[in-house]
Amino acid sequence: MAANPHVAGTWFRLGLARLNSSDAEGAVIALEEALELGADQPRRVMIAIARAHAAAGDNSAALRALEQGIALGHRERRALWDDAGFASLRADDRLRTRFERLAGVGGAATMPREAGWRRDLDFLAEEVERMRFNAFRKTSAEDFRRELNRLAAAVPRRSDEAIIVSVMRLMGGLGDAHTNVIPEGIPGWTKTLPVHFQLFADGLYITAADSASAHAVGAEVVEVAGRPIATVMAMLDSVTSDDNARTVIRNGPRYLRFPQVLHGLGLLPNGDRMSVTLRDARGARRQVILDAAPNDPEFNRIAGHPRWVQAINATPGTLPIGFRDRLRPYWFEYMPESGMMYLQFNSVVDMQGETLAAFTNRLFAAVDSTAAQGLIIDMRWNNGGNSRLLPPLIQSVVERPRLNQRGRLFAITGPYTFSAGMNAATMLDRHTQVILVGEPTVSSPNFVGESNILILPFSRIPVSISDYFWQTSWPMDNRTWLAPELYAPLTFRAYRAKRDPAMEAIQSLLVSERKGSSR
């Protein structure tokens, strides 16, 4: 430290080391210097300072530091109450009540229904105002509070489903797809429709279902509860959280599986079943009832269910490479007929047994050993993950001039290219010569978005409040989405026929360029 006292991260690590070695007062000094120099995230440093003060026996200073850390957006607010590092605060009769209020704990779970819901709404407002990045850039704080107060006043007259849907609408109005209610985690919502809805360029279809609902597979959904599907999707769009106008393609089918949502919207008399009008390939219409079934943990909202009846299997022949395995986070295959290496990149995570960095090394060793003429990165099913894992992959593309050129490097995007997947697409768009293929993304190159999940104290509903802004592109990049140069929307007609318009567009371009170069 004497040789170079200017590195913020070094002060932070020194402070943590001192705290772990029982030098609490020395930890405070180092951590305060780390905070001054901008180490890590200010909220995390402030909570560490609070722990150091508590370890030093200064509970008042610890509570003041906690208050500052909470004000800076510390995420795990309620977990602080159970943190062993703050046991002295819990035991301090002078400060216990303040600490309890600060941590947001109390008897909400045992409150009467009306009081409990109002506590949830107050807590939600506090957390949105405290944590969300630029919380009220799309709606004003006054409008948000006004709508929340109206909902609180209406609690006695509304069902739980209607309240939850109203909370969804409130969160959606804040204007980013990561600030939302998570329907899969709502207590009591233990049943969903055992079908896989997908919104294609030519309509909403049931692409898969369990055996009880297999009769609906392959049909177009034209009405729900007697309402045209366009009307229903617009109603769902009003309660889902969006980054741009295309996010409903990703979220609408997801929420449609929950009849509880449509019950909350007033479209269904209960949340146990849903009537739909279907249209088959011949144009004939029929009305069917879809009964909700217990949630199946194997269902994936992008890939469906591995054992359900699949519409695509009704057509003989092999699956296109892009539809073969949407569950594995990443895999690759060399295509000798075109000389291209194909990478399907479905999730920005470290797989058990092989990190993304290790996979990247293996991928590009194969690229180099096969002398692949180009690389196709298929990210249309990439729903996100951890953006911090992306640099090795992007750098490996950038440092290979043989691949990093027009006509040799392609990325396929679509309505599920989201979150960390969106960042991957933007990095390629900014730093390489990639040609984008497929459909526009459901987020912007620069966006507010981060999964930051907390549980409302009474209802136990999980919500996410975005607290990061990702400026992955240039600061003046105001595009609504990343638009493909080769627009190749996926239709159900193509999907059912086992055709992949995006891969066909790439192949067509490769053939035309090779013909041109041979003249």
HSE-up of residue 335 (Cα within 13 Å, Cβ side)? 19
User: Are 146 and 260 members of one domain?
Assistant: yes
Ramachandran angles phi, psi of 456, nearest 5° = -70, 135
27: number of Cβ within 10 Å = 25
Residues near 78 by beta carbon (within 8 Å), at least 6 away in sequence: 103, 104, 105, 454, 455, 457
Instruction: Report d(CA 146, CA 505) in Å as an integer.
Output: 50
Instruction: Report d(CA 65, CA 68) in Å as an integer.
Output: 5
pLDDT of residue 302: 94
Residues 83, 65: contact at Cβ < 8 Å? no
Residues near 36 by beta carbon (within 8 Å), at least 6 away in sequence: none
pLDDT of residue 518: 59
Residues 148, 170: contact at Cβ < 8 Å? yes
Structural domain boundaries enclosing 17: 8-103
DSSP helix/strand/coil, 270: coil
Residues 481, 439: contact at Cβ < 8 Å? no
pLDDT of residue 519: 57
User: Are 19 and 94 members of one domain?
Assistant: yes
User: Are 305 and 369 members of one domain?
Assistant: no
Question: Of 266, 296, 255, which Cα lies nearest the Cα of 161?
Answer: 266
Give the tokens for residue 375. Answer: 């690389």
Question: Of 158, 50, 165, which Cα lies nearest the Cα of 102?
Answer: 50
Q: List, in sequence order, every residue forming a beta bridge with 224; answer none if it has no partner.
A: 227, 276
Residues 424, 356: contact at Cβ < 8 Å? no
User: Are 392 and 502 members of one domain?
Assistant: yes
Of 65, 82, 103, which residue constitutes the final position of a domain? 103
Q: List, in sequence order, every residue forming a beta bridge with 317; answer none if it has no partner.
A: none
Residues 449, 472: contact at Cβ < 8 Å? no
Average pLDDT along the chain, 519 residues, taken 10 residues at a time: 91 96 96 96 96 96 96 91 94 93 83 95 94 90 95 96 97 95 96 98 98 97 98 95 94 97 94 96 96 95 94 95 96 96 98 97 96 96 97 98 96 98 98 98 96 94 96 97 98 98 97 73
Is 448 within the bounds of a domain? Answer: no
Of 293, 314, 335, which residue constitutes the final position of a domain? 314
User: Are 96 and 164 members of one domain?
Assistant: no
Instruction: Report d(CA 244, CA 54) in Å as an integer.
Output: 45
User: Are 391 and 513 members of one domain?
Assistant: yes
Is 493 within the bounds of a domain? Answer: yes
Give the tokens for residue 393. Answer: 């992959």
pLDDT of residue 427: 99
| Residue 12, CA distances (Å) to 28, 38, 64, 65, 86 in order | 10, 10, 20, 16, 20
For the chain, the domain total comes to 3
Chain position carrying tokens 């807590």 = 123
User: Are 205 and 247 members of one domain?
Assistant: yes
Question: Of 410, 411, 422, which Cα lies nearest the Cα of 382?
Answer: 422
Q: What is the DSSP letter of 445?
A: S
Instruction: Report d(CA 339, CA 510) in Å as an integer.
Output: 10
pLDDT of residue 371: 86
User: Are 286 and 375 members of one domain?
Assistant: no
Residues 332, 363: contact at Cβ < 8 Å? yes
pLDDT of residue 153: 97
Instruction: Report d(CA 108, CA 121) in Å as an integer.
Output: 12
In the chain, the largest separation of any two C-alpha atoms, in whole Å, equals 87
Residues 294, 268: contact at Cβ < 8 Å? no
Of 269, 288, 314, which residue constitutes the final position of a domain? 314
pLDDT of residue 428: 99
User: Are 327 and 387 members of one domain?
Assistant: yes
